Chain A
Amino acid sequence: MGRYLLVLRLAWRDLRRRPVEAILAVLVMAAATTTLTIGLALHGVTDHPYEQTRAATAGPDAVAGFLSEDGTPPKTADVDAVTHLPGVSAHGALMPLAHTTLAMGGRTATVQALGRSPAGDPVDQPRLTSGAWVGAGSVVLERGFADALGARVGDQVTLGGRSFHIGGTAVSAALPAYPSSLCHLLCFAGVAPGPNAFDIGLVWLTPADLATVQERTTPAVVYLLDLRLADPSAAPAFAATHGTLPGRDPGASGPFLLSWQQIRDADAGVTRSAQAALQVGAVLLALLAIAGLTVLAGRRTLEQTRRVGLLKAVGGTPGLIALVLLVEHLALAVLAAAAGLGVGRVLAGRFTAPSAGLLGSPGPASLTGTTVAVVVTAALLVALAATLLPALRAARSATITALEAPARTPRRHGRLIALSASLPVPLLLGLRLIGRRPGRAALAVLSTAVTVTGLVTILTSDAVSGRGTGGLHNLRTERLTQVTTMITVMLLVLAAANTVFLTWATVADARHASALARAFGATPSQVTGGLAAAQVVPAAVGALLGLPAGLIVYRLVTQTSLTMPSLAGLAAVLVGAILAVVVCTAIPAGVGARRPVADVLSADAA
């Protein structure tokens, strides 16, 4: 009891003595926890709208598809075999569906044109959101697609070469809303998704009109059959048991079965890329936070060492001493987790509005117990990664050495010093500084490498997602862009902060050495140059490592083949990163190098 009071008191006093460092530490960790929170909060936000839409449109529990090479409907026996499957309680009419191209005002998109009876069906009744249901020469657009296209009731569109009038817009739960159209039909048909294959619009029209649409893309015709099941929750099992899989049954033409849960999950696709980006971003930001915290905590090793010596002398056990050293950072981590959860919850709201293709509103971005646990654990791990090793080392150190610790004697790296002797003065000073604190140089490499990895990943993803939306507004791409912009800003801010921390620490460390160098005739700008070189050399190494790492991360996360971003883009990231480090370094380095020599030397003698 008393012991824990002491631990808390020491942590609290220490935090109060350096509020700026404490705040910086929290901010650095909060960037990662916020990103993680948003990523987790987006999970399942479209489920509620989908279920509302499903209820409002009498959505099917499963959809059966039959592929037709020549356009003829499937045999009655094949259809009956599906409608008589155990568990099927009702079904709709057989509906022809053709893949074709829709053009309007210079924009074109691949669409699925679905023939629906003007009278409507008991299962799957698309809910009109404007205008009227299909009729001769009049088509209805899925609302999410209409929005992306900028189409309104009364507009003219060209469908497969024939002109139609838009009679209305509607929502449906039987197919995913734009831009989440899943490739299911194409994939079932064994057709490789072409350009835009993932973003297919949905158009309803009468079967008679559909028959007049001549220009088609593959697969030319599919027939769909909406099914109602006795137990909707068993739909995935039903689809898996009775459906045909192209891989398992090559050449089969059906039935391909899709459960409503698969459609719901396809609708979540609108946030999926953003979620993946957020999760990768959170990992990168966490790495930057570890680097930043390590530097912040490392600036104070001397002070901490004396404290450890003292606690040992008066009887603190190694465990208690490690606790004293850790508690402070763990408390900051909990604060950062709380901040991240709060801010992340608010920001997540900006990414949760469903596509216009669904009804209703998302549930508020709720923080589940799991989310809270994951975020808090992540923050604690970041803090531990940055402080556990030094704490354990301190706890085991010899009491007297710790108590009477002089400023840490830097290691000498003879070869580095010999090498640097033949270099220009700033580079010479810089390399010697790196040789004094190799660990810190490694952190500088890590920090830049992680940042460049993130930037390259984002650059690559933009290069991909920017392609082939046919000029249509694409909610998924927009989400991804919003999210990656946010992550980019955070990466840059954290990397800049890390660079400033590192330079500060190096300046403080090298104060004496720099003053000596100047006493022996180095100019302030040579010393500034040396301090800058000590940051820029590792940063350049990190940037070079980050380029391939970014491409690899992108490849691993998206599992798609890589589209190389432009060389100009990569070069810009590389040069930009190094220039940014120069700028962030220049200010603290310049201030450090200009302090009067005598001041420094006499201050250090005291």
Chain B
Amino acid sequence: MSDVVLRTRRVRKEFGKGAGRVRAVDDIDFEVAAGETVAVMGPSGCGKSTLLHLLGGLQRPTGGEVVLDGRRVDEMSERALARLRRDRIGFVFQAFHLMPELTAVENVEVPALLAGRSPRAARGAALELLDRVGLADRTGHLPSALSGGQRQRVAIARALVTEPLVVLADEPTGNLDSAATSEVLRLFDRLRAAGQTLIIVTHDARIAATANRLLSMRDGALVDQTLLAEVAA
């Protein structure tokens, strides 16, 4: 297998204390290689989102290690984490989380501007990505003027604008109807083909089917790993 981009060792996350304690992620070990697409599935509340947040440095683990690109995410300072999210990670959320007051292209630019790109370079990259996700004619629209599928494609473009090492997507089609899901699906397929490392949490079997590998979770733990691509081969 090629280079490992992301690796966890006995990573664990607990919420609450005393009798109300919940172990959302329970001693998970796994690795993701560069260019791999991994789908994470499991019942509601089993800890999928929490795992993704730990991988992306949005939350700190209670124990264990998360290593991204050779660096310990779990030990980083707030500022270093911010820089890591900015430069190495792209997030896609179920609820899109676009800024309502910014147009499509301005939303896509945000991470590039945060990363210190010049306004001109950021705008160029944003326009190119919007073109790639099929929204070249919607660049000046506010999110409120876009459909759900279009909003999610803007969010995906935003996740890609800094050319991240890994894209983490949490139920990217959870709020979308079937037609919009297909659009997003095609997009992920193209990303996989282009060699983008992707981790997608999903309830949708069609999305999962585009992955190289499927992780199943239950009660915070990994219960199964299937190498889909090899099965298909």
A residues with CB within 8 A of B: 1-3, 5-6, 9-10, 13-14, 16-17, 306-307, 309-320, 396, 398-400, 403-404
Known: A2-B122, A5-B119, A400-B58. A316 touches B101 (CB 8 A): no
Please report the C-alpha to C-alpha distance between residue A396 and residue B77 in the assembled complex, in whole angstroms.
12
Which residues of A have CB within 8 Å of B97? 306, 309-310, 313, 403
Q: Is the CB of A2 within 8 A of B82?
A: no
Q: Chain B interface mostly helix, strand, loop or mixed? A: helix
Which residues of A have CB within 8 Å of B99? 10, 307, 310
Nearest chain B residue, comparing its CB with the CB of A319: B79
Nearest chain A residue, comparing its CB with the CB of B164: A315
Q: Is the CB of A3 within 8 A of B113?
A: yes
Q: Which of B89, B91, B93, B114 meets A320, CB within 8 Å?
A: B114
Which residues of A have CB within 8 Å of B87? 315
Please report the C-alpha to C-alpha distance between residue A6 and residue B118 in the assembled complex, in whole angstroms.
11
* Top 10 A-B residue pairs of the complex, sorted by shortest distance between their CB atoms: A315-B86, A13-B101, A2-B113, A6-B113, A315-B85, A317-B82, A314-B111, A399-B58, A315-B114, A310-B97
Tell whether B158 is near chain A: CB-to-CB under 8 Å.
yes
Which residues of B have CB within 8 Å of A313? 58, 85, 91, 93, 97
Q: How many A-B residue pairs have CB under 8 A?
A: 86
Q: List 28 A-B contacts (CB under 8 A).
A: A1-B116, A1-B118, A2-B115, A2-B122, A5-B113, A6-B109, A6-B110, A10-B101, A13-B102, A17-B101, A306-B97, A310-B99, A311-B114, A312-B58, A313-B58, A313-B85, A313-B93, A314-B85, A314-B91, A314-B110, A314-B158, A315-B85, A318-B78, A398-B59, A400-B53, A400-B58, A403-B93, A404-B95
Please report the C-alpha to C-alpha distance between residue A312 and residue B53 in the assembled complex, in whole angstroms.
12
Nearest chain A CB to B59 CB, angstrom units: 6
Which residues of A have CB within 8 Å of B119? 1-2, 5
Tell whether B106 is near chain A: CB-to-CB under 8 Å.
yes
Q: Is the CB of B102 within 8 A of A315?
A: no
- Interface set, chain B 62-115, CB cutoff 8 A to A: 78-79, 82-87, 89, 91, 93, 95, 97, 99, 101-102, 106, 109-115
Tell whether B117 is near chain A: CB-to-CB under 8 Å.
yes
Which residues of B have CB within 8 Å of A312? 58, 82, 85
Known: A9-B102, A13-B101, A313-B91. A318 touches B79 (CB 8 A): yes
Please report the C-alpha to C-alpha distance between residue A396 and residue B86 in the assembled complex, in whole angstroms.
17
Known: A315-B86, A398-B59. A2 touches B91 (CB 8 A): no
Nearest chain A residue, comparing its CB with the CB of B49: A400
Nearest chain A CB to B227 CB, angstrom units: 30
Q: What is the total number of residues of chain B having a CB less than 8 Å from a CB of chain A?
A: 34
Known pairs A3-B114, A316-B114 / 15 extra A-B pairs, C-beta < 8 Å: A2-B112, A2-B113, A2-B116, A13-B101, A310-B97, A310-B99, A313-B93, A314-B86, A314-B158, A315-B86, A315-B89, A315-B114, A316-B82, A317-B82, A404-B95
Q: Is the CB of B114 within 8 A of A314?
A: yes
Which residues of A have CB within 8 Å of B58? 312-313, 399-400
Please report the C-alpha to C-alpha distance between residue A310 and residue B82 in the assembled complex, in whole angstroms.
12
Q: Is the CB of B101 within 8 A of A400?
A: no
Q: Is the CB of A318 within 8 A of B113?
A: no
Nearest chain B residue, comparing its CB with the CB of A14: B101
Which residues of A have CB within 8 Å of B85? 312-315
Nearest chain A CB to B209 CB, angstrom units: 27
Q: Is the CB of B83 within 8 A of A317?
A: yes
Nearest chain A CB to B111 CB, angstrom units: 4
Q: Is the CB of A9 within 8 A of B116?
A: no
Please report the C-alpha to C-alpha distance between residue A13 and residue B110 in the assembled complex, in whole angstroms.
14
Nearest chain B CB to A464 CB, angstrom units: 53
Nearest chain A residue, comparing its CB with the CB of B79: A317
Which residues of B have CB within 8 Å of A315? 82-87, 89, 111, 114-115, 162
Q: Indicate the member of B82, B102, B109 with the most A CB atoms within 10 Å.
A: B82
Please report the C-alpha to C-alpha distance between residue A84 and residue B21 in the assembled complex, in whole angstroms.
95
Which residues of B have CB within 8 Å of A307? 99
Please report the C-alpha to C-alpha distance between residue A202 and residue B83 in the assembled complex, in whole angstroms.
77
Please report the C-alpha to C-alpha distance between residue A10 and residue B103 in the assembled complex, in whole angstroms.
11
Which residues of A have CB within 8 Å of B162? 315
Known: A14-B101, A315-B86, A398-B59. A9 touches B106 (CB 8 A): yes
